[in-house]
């Protein structure tokens, strides 16, 4: 019996460690979606909105090179015109409105795990960027941004001559 208890304790400790790791790595990616039923056109869409979660994972990658900062943000189910991107100081702010899209007119939903509504995700940038020269694209649910660094933030190598 003691061996069984030790195995259960060890298994539980692994589950807790895995959960803590997930929370530590993904907690910033958890994004709140605010529901407003009046945003939806028909009663079936409003009913789906009422049962959808208020939180979703919007996973991001921020990469810095010597000349630019690039950002990838997974936002599935959106249209580019429903997204807004701003840079305020050294923070990238992505906001939008994900509307309910029903492809079936009959029947009912049994699982609703997709989040809908208005959201905002803030990402700290590792350097000051030129927002007016940024490039943005949205393809297959991924928003990609390329943000050139300001001159003072660019990394420059200084050549060393033999003396």
What b/e string do you get for 67-76 counting C-beta neighbours within 10 Å, with b at 16 or more? ebbebebebe
Name which of 17-21, 103-107, 121-125, 138-142 the model is least confident about: 103-107
CA distance 78 to 144: 13
Residue 73: pLDDT over 70: yes
Whether residue 126 is predicted with pLDDT greater than 90 in this model: the reply is: yes
Please report the pLDDT score of residue 102 as a whole number.
Answer: 64
Q: Give the per-residue pLDDT at 40.
A: 65
Phi, psi torsion values for 40, nearest 5 degrees: -100, 145
Say if residue 140's pLDDT is above 70.
yes
The region of weakest confidence among 11-15, 78-82, 98-102, 145-149 is 98-102
**65 with 127: CB under 8 angstroms?**
no
Over 80: is that where the pLDDT of 146 sits?
A: yes
Angle at 158 between CA 154 and CA 163, to 5 degrees: 175
Highest mean pLDDT among 17-26, 103-112, 120-129: 120-129
6-34 per-residue burial string, b: 16 or more CB within 10 A, e: under 16:
eeeeeeeeeeeeeeeeeeeeeeeeebebe
Model confidence over 77-116: pLDDT tens digits?
899 999 999 999 899 999 999 988 766 667 777 778 888 8
H or E element: which one contains 49? helix 43-51
* Higher pLDDT pick, 52 / 136: 136
| CB neighbour list of residue 67: distance below 8 Å, 6 or more residues apart | 148, 149, 154, 155
Question: Would you say residue 6 has pLDDT above 90?
Answer: no
Q: Six-digit token pair at 75?
A: 């936002």
Mean pLDDT for the chain?
Answer: 86
pLDDT(60) > 80: yes
pLDDT of amino acid 68: 95
Higher pLDDT, 94 or 40: 94
Nearest to 120 by CA among 163, 88, 159: 88
Instruction: Give the DSSP H/E element, type plus range, for residue 3.
Output: helix 2-26
């Amino acid at each position: 019996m003691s061996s069984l208890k030790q195995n259960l304790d060890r298994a539980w400790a692994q589950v807790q460690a895995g959960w803590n790791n997930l929370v530590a790595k993904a907690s910033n990616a958890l994004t709140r979606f605010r529901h407003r039923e009046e945003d939806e056109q028909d009663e079936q869409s409003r009913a789906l909105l009422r049962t959808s979660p208020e939180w979703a994972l919007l996973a991001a990658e921020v990469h810095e090179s010597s000349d630019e900062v690039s950002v990838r943000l997974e936002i599935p189910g959106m249209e580019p015109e429903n997204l807004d991107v701003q840079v305020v100081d050294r923070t990238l702010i992505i906001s939008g409105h994900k509307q309910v899209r029903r492809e079936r007119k009959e029947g009912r939903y049994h699982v609703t795990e997709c989040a809908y509504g208005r959201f905002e995700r803030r990402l700290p940038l590792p350097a000051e960027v030129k927002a007016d020269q940024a490039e943005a694209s949205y393809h297959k649910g991924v928003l990609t941004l390329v943000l050139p660094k300001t001159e003072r933030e660019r990394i420059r190598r200084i050549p060393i001559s033999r003396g």
